[in-house]
Amino acid sequence: MDDVLAIRNLSIAFSTDYGPVHAVRGVSFSVPRNKVVGVVGESGCGKTTVISAAMGLLANNADIEGGEVMFEGRNLLGLSEPELREVRGERITMVFQDPMTAQNPVISIGRQMVDIQYRRRNLNKRQKRDAAIAMLRRVGIPDPETRIDSFPHELSGGMRQRLSIAMALMMHPALLIADEPTTALDVTMEGQIIHLLRELQAELVASVLFVSHNLGLVAELCDEVVVMYAGEVVEKGTCHDIFHRPSHPYTRALLDCDPARVLERTARLPTIPGDLPDLHEPPRGCVFVERCPAALERCAGSPPREHTLGPTHRASCHLLDVGPAARN
Ligand SMILES: Nc1ncnc2c1ncn2[C@@H]1O[C@H](COP(=O)(O)OP(=O)(O)OP(=O)(O)O)[C@@H](O)[C@H]1O
Ligand code: SF4
Ligand SMILES: [Mg+2]
């Protein structure tokens, strides 16, 4: 398999005054070359924690308890900070929910975009500036020759997010990670940014790891989908597998039994009765047992194993133990 990123058996805990929070447990999934993979799940499911680990950007109180994050043949979890810095920002780049996280407010857009290209020793400053203008134009920022000399805060929210994308793609990374990149935007701008990402991904032959609450956007943008619940991957597969043949009760609850609903761009996660389990003490059996309408007796006592349902379709649920007849 030609995977750009492969996360294997990743477990992360945060230390807190009330003891460790076991935020991510045994997470495995990959991002194939030139594909867009979406990670979806309710707030607090561990989406940001997983991708922060991949970028070496975890909070200080995080402890990586096990697993690996393989990228271009190296385990990123074993790299030193200088080695990671080389990967981050060039081979892997990020777009955040709040564009200001990535943009320096007191340095002009042009200077920031020229600085990103510091490794391009064969180009002079003028050429780097021209490359930056071309990229600003490509992401749809009007009048880039003038805009390049302004500051990020002088742009509107949607334009700032376009700028983030331009900066993230400037050095042609192998992987772009986007964590809720459109959550702060209105629906029209959200749609525009998603289309832009899809176009640029195809044009620049990059892989994208896209994290979102919004199943509609995931359905529109992604080739493959990873469903997380309470720190675990409960189901993963192609977009078609997840939206048309969901096999885990949590995925089904998210889809609310009606895939057509979430395919609308504005659809948000429906509310599922109940709360996430307390991750100080994750359940012994299935993580979803307290909210699962289909729970069996064995679900509370033993964790379900991962079942293979198709070439890339996997789900972890005891309902799958007993064969296809019991699945529906
Ligand atoms: N620095 C931290 N210290 C303690 N707990 C943390 C820390 N960061 C995250 N957590 C906890 O880890 C769990 C996973 O959080 P994470 O932010 O990864 O979820 P998420 O899926 O990205 O949620 P959202 O959709 O709201 O962004 C949550 O229970 C959260 O409270
Ligand atoms: S293992 Fe049991 S509790 Fe968990 S999702 Fe499947 S049926 Fe529900
Ligand atoms: Mg998050």
Residue-by-residue DSSP string for 259-314: HHHHTSTT--PPP-SS-PPPTTS--SS-TTGGG-TT--GGGTTSPPPEEE-SSS-E
Name the residue at shortest CA distance from atom 5 of ligand 1: 14
Q: Give dist(CA 51, CA 36) in Å, integer.
A: 14
At 127, give phi and psi (nearest 5°). Answer: -65, -35
In the numeric block, the tokens 């619940």 are attached to 229
DSSP-assigned letter for residue 153: G
Query: pLDDT tens digits, residue range 61-71?
Result: 999 999 999 99
Residue located nearest, by CA, to atom 12 of ligand 1: 23
Q: State pLDDT tens for residues 88-110.
A: 888 999 998 887 777 788 899 99
Report pLDDT for 89.
82
Nearest CA to ligand 1 atom 4: 14
Return the domain boundaries, the chain: 79-217, 284-328
pLDDT at position 327 over 60:
no
Which tens digits make up the pLDDT trace of 159-186? 999 999 999 999 999 999 999 998 888 8
- Mean predicted lDDT score pLDDT of the chain: 90
CA of 119 to the centre of ligand 3 (A): 31
Q: Quickly state the pLDDT bin for 187 (edges 50, 70, 90).
A: confident
56-82 average pLDDT score: 93
User: What is the CATH architecture of 79-217?
Assistant: 3-Layer(aba) Sandwich (3.40)
Residue 265 has pLDDT above 70, yes or no: no
Alpha-carbon distance of 246 to 268, in angstroms, equals 17
* Ligand closest to CA 250: 2
Residue nearest to atom 7 of ligand 2 (CA): 295
Q: Output the pLDDT for position 9.
A: 98
pLDDT, residue 97, reads 82
Which run of H or E residues covers position 181?
Answer: none
Structure tokens at 162: 């376009």
The pLDDT tens digits for 208-234 are: 999 988 888 899 899 999 999 999 999
Percent of the chain's residues with pLDDT above 70: 94
Which protein residues are within 6 Å of ligand 2, measured from CB? 248-249, 286, 288-289, 292, 294-296, 299, 304, 317-319
Q: Is residue 47 over pLDDT 80?
A: yes
Query: Mean pLDDT over residues 304-313, rounded?
Result: 96
Q: What's residue 325's pLDDT?
A: 43
Between CA 67 and CA 12 the distance in angstroms is: 9
Instruction: Tell me how far apart the alpha carbons of residues 208 and 186 are, in angstroms, rounded to a whole number.
Output: 22
Strand order across the 74-75 sheet: 21-32, 3-14, 62-71, 74-75
Contacts of 184 (CB under 8 A, 6+ apart): 97, 98, 157, 161
Where does the pLDDT of residue 115 fall: very low under 50, low under 70, confident under 90, or very high at 90 and above?
Answer: very high
- State whether the beta carbon of 166 lies less than 6 angstroms from ligand 1: no
Give yes or no for residue 132 having a pLDDT over 60: yes
Q: How many helices (H) and strands (E) does the chain have?
A: 11, 12
Ligand 2 mutation pick, 229, 318, 320, 321, max ligand atoms within 8 A of CB: 318
Question: How many A from CA of 274 to the centre of ligand 2?
Answer: 15
Q: Whose CA is nearest to atom 16 of ligand 1?
A: 46
